[in-house]
Homo-oligomer: A and B are copies of this chain.
């Protein structure tokens, strides 16, 4: 580094080069700016059906034990996850949400200028981490509102990518590929390219979406979370499944005490409550159907969804969809939308219970009228 002494702090050249933008503006920020809370919180892909009552009980009971650090090995949770998935604890690292784990993974693999491939319009927090460690991000377009495995592979081979990011099911489109497509993609990976398979929504996807776990395969790392199907976004518990040497490497860089004691207790209880997860799946499926009906009743096309949100084609361009979005927000409905054309012709609406669906159904025709007017 060639900094000359001066008033501190002397940031690294990389830190100096990073933009001040953040991946997402939270709904609370919008509520403060509006001076009014949202009536329906449908924009952050949260699970409005909530966590397992057993998880709530476990977290509430653990509150009094919070004077103790959480186990830095996350041992009990990793053991339970290993049993659940038919792998060993050495195949699993638990972290502060998938966001935290993506940061560690990028840090382990990406030095300045290293190539990484993702889809244009895919998860911005992954891009945030790649930029944050100086990686060179190469984007390929979606194809028919799906991430495009062939194009991702082709680009990775072209640029000798260290990482490919793909979410299955996809956010923000809600689309998915069947397991067979992913298995073929893994087999087609260029030498030296690791596939980051983000399966945040996989518990809500149709059977046959997740490829069989092959945890000793060094070519792929699977990202899972308690934030979506398990309804615990605010607890910050994600995990990755991968080959033991890669998983062990996280210990070189992770915040060892980063996953809190209450969060660990909640995740352990949530994992055990398979009946609640089945109930959530049914509720989400029913809500997706309601959202599709609302969309159709308003002349919008609901895209097929393998997640807990439905992405709706507003039938025009991004300018129009942004007007619809703004009009919904003005009517106290928190929703978001894809960032990149042509996916930004859509809005993205979360599944939820009857009250939230009714609020959205009431606001949408008014919002569309305003956007068209």
| Residue positions of A touching B, CB distance < 8 A | 1, 3-15, 18-20, 22-24, 26, 28-29, 32, 41, 44, 46-51, 55-57, 59-73, 75, 96-97, 99-100, 103, 107-111, 113-114, 125, 132, 160, 162, 189-194, 218-219, 227, 231-236, 246, 248-249, 251-253, 255-263, 266
Contacts and interface: CB of A to CB of B under 8 A. Distances in A.
A73 B8 contact: no
A13 B162 CA distance: 13
Nearest to A60: B60
A6 B191 contact: yes
A160 B5 contact: yes
A12 to B, nearest CB: 4
A100 B258 contact: yes
A107 B63 contact: no
A267 to B, nearest CB: 11
Given A22-B256, A48-B67, A66-B233, 5 more contacts: A15-B249, A28-B73, A46-B69, A55-B63, A62-B234
A233 B73 contact: no
Nearest to A9: B194
A288 B36 CA distance: 49
Most chain B beta-carbon contacts within 10 A, residue among A56, A248, A260: A260
Contacts of A103: 255
21 contacts: A4-B192, A8-B162, A9-B249, A10-B192, A12-B107, A12-B108, A26-B72, A44-B69, A48-B67, A49-B67, A59-B66, A59-B262, A63-B262, A66-B234, A66-B266, A97-B255, A99-B258, A132-B253, A235-B261, A236-B259, A236-B260
A226 B75 CA distance: 24
A73 B27 CA distance: 10
A279 B1 CA distance: 49
Contact of A68 (B23, B219, B233): B233
B262 A234 contact: yes
A7 B51 CA distance: 39
Contacts of A96: 96, 255, 258
B64 A56 contact: yes
A69 B99 CA distance: 12
A84 to B, nearest CB: 20
Name the 4 nearest CB pairs between A and B, nearest first. Answer: A234-B261, A5-B192, A60-B60, A59-B63
A249 to B, nearest CB: 6
Nearest to A53: B64
A147 B32 CA distance: 44
B260 A7 contact: no
A234 B13 contact: no
A261 B8 CA distance: 33
Most chain B beta-carbon contacts within 10 A, residue among A190, A219, A248, A252: A252
Nearest to A7: B218
Contacts of A73: 26, 28-29
Given A9-B162, A260-B260, A32 B63 contact: no
Contact of A114 (B1, B18, B61): B1
B67 A109 contact: no
Contacts of A251: 20, 22
A79 to B, nearest CB: 10
Contact of A252 (B5, B20, B162): B20
Given A10-B162, A14-B111, A28 B71 contact: yes
A257 B48 CA distance: 18
A234 B248 contact: no
